[in-house]
Structure 1
Amino acid sequence: MDLPMVEVAARAIIRNVETVIDGKHEAVTTALTVLLAQGHLLIEDVPGVGKTMLAKALAKSLDCTVSRIQFTPDLLPSDVTGVSVFNQVDRRFEFKPGAIFANIVIGDEINRASPKTQSALLECMEERQVTVDGFTYLLPVPFTVVATQNPIEMEGTYALPEAQRDRFMARISMGYPDTESELMMLDSRDATSPLDGIEAVVSGAQLRGMMTAARAVFASAAVKEYAVSLVRATRDDRDLRLGASPRATLQLIRVAKAQAALQGREYVLPDDIDSLALAVLSHRLMASGRVLGHHQDSGPLIEEIVRRIIAETPVPLGPAGLH
């Protein structure tokens, strides 16, 4: 698929999702960008602001297989990955796939599951495969996890471990709607769910074509060096005790390519890196004790540190930085 067609298809998906999600254009666009970059998305916010609605609307806009996992404290790893069951007729074990076997997996309230169940996702998200009883089963292509979670200070939540957070390409927050959007919601959702009227606007083949086009977008050496400089700055910053991993650098470039494709560009700009760095890096970082102080929620503090790092890191200029 060529880039003009990618841009047209992306606009159709965004318009479709925005019939359900009012006033959240940036969140919808970032979610689609992560999907085209073949990454996994973490949506974090307080209950009732539309996290699950966004995930469902995005999934229903695409003609591909979708499954939903409601994470609870008693959810077992086998409920996610699948289990081997003994067939009495054939006298052999048969693998029964779990809910993870779908193109788009919606993980609702992922941080309400036990750490053991959360860890079942690690192999799935990174290697796109499941190993059960010594046998490996490949997951479908494309494969994306769109997970929602409540802030960690909410009752009954388990904080995601660092290795789990690092698997997510980006984290976004929904935020509360503005007054106009909330009033529109009262009218549009009074009798029926807006999800009932959503239909797929992009086929599975088109989606795979969009992903291929996004991977082919050009990133110059200067832009790659800029991304590396940003990520390395998080490792050296004295206000952070855990910086971003090399995986973060790879994913920052991949999602920047996808954003360029959505805008019909054949090349990545430093602005793409800047606009996505907060979503890609902030959930992977941990603040040091010297700045954490009495902050109960380190999220806003870490975002402030990332913004400072972006502002302090020299941006490549000239032809090498632009193309």
Structure 2
Amino acid sequence: MPTPPQDLPRTAGELRAAGHHPISVREEIRRNLLAALSDGRDPWPGILGFDTTVLPQLERALIAGHDVVLLGERGQGKTRLLRALPALLDEWTPVIAGSELGEHPLAPITPASRRRAAELGDDLPVLWRHRTERYTEKLATPDTSVGDLVGDVDPVKVAEGRALGDPETIHYGLVPRAHRGVLALNELPDLAERIQVALLNVMEERDVQVRGYTLRLPLDVLVVATANPEDYTNRGRIITPLKDRFGAEIRTHYPSTIEAEIAVVRQEAHLVAEVGDPLLEVLARFVRHLREAPSVDQRSGVSARFAIAAAETVAASAMRRAALTGERPAIARPVDLEAVPAVLRGKLEFEAGEEGGENELLTHLLRRSLADTAAAHLSGVNLRPLVDVVADGHPVATGERVTSRELLMALPELPVLHEVARRLGVSPGDPPGRIAAAVELALETLYLTRRIGKDVVDDRVVYRP
């Protein structure tokens, strides 16, 4: 956790003398968001594919001071978007030292803090809280209780001798502890309806009521939530009064372009080996084909995490191949794509009646994606010389025990291979692995268009006439 600057005020008196005035969390976010937009700074670093759709809507909602629910399929970046909100808060904010709820020294809200402020006056000690500590996230599960969210009587405090009717016997839940910050509720429809009722006062009156206590806390909380449309309408739902209290409902979506899909994978995937842009494009097209396939349950969606896991699997296959052959550096080739369907089949939901054909469907769509990628990059390239060379007795082998140099040595020097490499972003001085990946993609394209054949023997793939 960052250390606050030493020149910040350390008492309420110093804070008041510095001209500090408490402002609401909504005003704080509005001010910082407008400043970023005016200065041309990106308020949402790391958020990709939402520039002209989701982000403008979210910015309008935050400027208006609305609570927000993000509605979208799984893996559309809803949680990532919520976790970007703390960056719009001030980096440091003053709190009363020792207060449970992080109250402002000049605006205490709990009985204990008000009593301390009255007793100590300007000597009330002040601490500084970093903006990352002002973000509270809760996964809304069916077993969540009112006590978890709002609070309950603390039996330990009662056992210490305090009266049962004393407001200071309350143990505060997550909502009060998010005071002067952002409260994020993931998968809100999974909350039981009676638990959602407990949030009504928080959303409208901005206070909490615990059991029969008359305690009322004027909370300053920005509430943001996520929901899945399928859960929203079937398995669970947001009750109508709570839904009405959200000022904005914003629909998210999967990346709308191939480039955005690749950018998300590049940013999020932890690749143990090099995976070139052409192979990432194959995976991006693969995911998009899956989102359009009638055999795949589109109500569950095909998460962006699928493409990320696919890229990581391809990189792992390349690393394993490098370990078997001793080739360095480890660079993925099209042969490594074969690991994707078997490893990631369980991440998809298929329609009823499709049992048994999952592997065939995934293999077909993966090959289609590779063909689409090749068509996008190699259109106009005459691959006939490569077909003739293979037909003249130069079969080319690849596989997990075939190095890139061995693959390249099976072919004579051909101008068309230099053109293929150039079209796929590979330079002559690049490592053999990158060149071999480009050549192998061209060979696989010729096989898919039935211009050459392919035999699979054990762990070797041989392209032949």
Supply the distance in 1 between the matched residues of 2:81 and 2:235 (Cα, whole angstroms): 21
Q: Secondary structure at the match of 2:82?
A: helix
Alignment-mate amino acid for residue 167 of structure 1: R
Q: Secondary structure at the match of 1:138?
A: coil
Quickly say closer, same or farther: Cα 1:158–1:11, change in 2 above 3 A. Answer: farther
Q: Tell me how large the CA RMSD over aligned residues is.
A: 2.8
Supply the distance in 1 between the matched residues of 2:63 and 2:154 (Cα, whole angstroms): 35
Which one of 29, 37, 41 corresponds to residue 68 of structure 2?
41
Aligned pair count? Answer: 189
Identity within the alignment, %: 26
Alignment-mate amino acid for residue 159 of structure 1: R
Q: Which TM-score applies when normalising by structure 2?
A: 0.37
Alignment-mate amino acid for residue 190 of structure 2: R
Supply the distance in 2 between the matched residues of 1:168 and 1:100 (Cα, whole angstroms): 16
Supply the distance in 2 between the matched residues of 1:8 and 1:131 (Cα, whole angstroms): 36
Q: Which runs of 5+ in 1 are unaligned?
A: 193-323
**Correspondences of 1:11-30 after superposition (within 5 Å):** 15-17=42-44, 19-25=45-51, 26-30=53-57
Quickly say closer, same or farther: Cα 1:14–1:35, change in 2 above 3 A. Answer: farther
Q: Secondary structure at the match of 1:73?
A: coil
- Look up the match of 1:80: 149
Q: Secondary structure at the match of 1:136?
A: coil
Pairing 1:158–2:236 present: yes
- Look up the match of 1:180: 259
Q: Secondary structure at the match of 1:118?
A: helix
Following TM superposition, by how much is the alpha carbon of 1:163 offset from its aligned partner in structure 2, in angstroms?
1.0
Structure index of larger Rg: 2
Following TM superposition, by how much is the alpha carbon of 1:13 offset from its aligned partner in structure 2, in angstroms?
9.7
Q: Is contact 1:152–1:159 with CA below 8 Å preserved after alignment?
A: no
Q: Which runs of 5+ in 2 are unaligned?
A: 1-26, 91-130, 272-465
Alignment-mate amino acid for residue 71 of structure 2: E
**Correspondences of 1:225-240 after superposition (within 5 Å):** none
Alignment-mate amino acid for residue 135 of structure 1: T
- Deviation string, structure 1 residues 8-60 (Cα, Å, up to 9, x no partner): 3345797131x221021232232233223222101001111011111111234
Supply the distance in 2 between the matched residues of 1:84 and 1:40 (Cα, whole angstroms): 28
Q: Which TM-score applies when normalising by structure 1?
A: 0.53
Q: Secondary structure at the match of 2:175?
A: coil
- Deviation string, structure 1 residues 166-206 (Cα, Å, up to 9, x no partner): 101011111111221110111111239xxxxxxxxxxxxxx
Which one of 12, 17, 34 corresponds to residue 7 of structure 1?
34
- Look up the match of 2:201: 123
- Deviation string, structure 1 residues 135-171 (Cα, Å, up to 9, x no partner): 3332443x21110001145797312122111101011
Q: Secondary structure at the match of 1:106?
A: strand
Supply the distance in 1 between the matched residues of 2:215 and 2:205 (Cα, whole angstroms): 11
Following TM superposition, by how much is the alpha carbon of 1:7 offset from its aligned partner in structure 2, in angstroms?
3.2
Supply the distance in 2 between the matched residues of 1:5 and 1:43 (Cα, whole angstroms): 21
Quickly say closer, same or farther: Cα 1:185–1:44, change in 2 above 3 A. Answer: same
Supply the distance in 1 between the matched residues of 2:240 and 2:41 (Cα, whole angstroms): 31
Pairing 1:190–2:269 present: yes
Quickly say closer, same or farther: Cα 1:50–1:161, change in 2 above 3 A. Answer: same
Quickly say closer, same or farther: Cα 1:33–1:136, change in 2 above 3 A. Answer: farther
Alignment-mate amino acid for residue 186 of structure 1: V
Q: Secondary structure at the match of 1:135?
A: coil
More displaced stretch, 43-52 vs 93-102? 93-102
Q: Is contact 1:13–1:61 with CA below 8 Å preserved after alignment?
A: no
Quickly say closer, same or farther: Cα 1:117–1:173, change in 2 above 3 A. Answer: same
Q: Is contact 2:33–2:43 with CA below 8 Å preserved after alignment?
A: no
- Look up the match of 1:62: 89
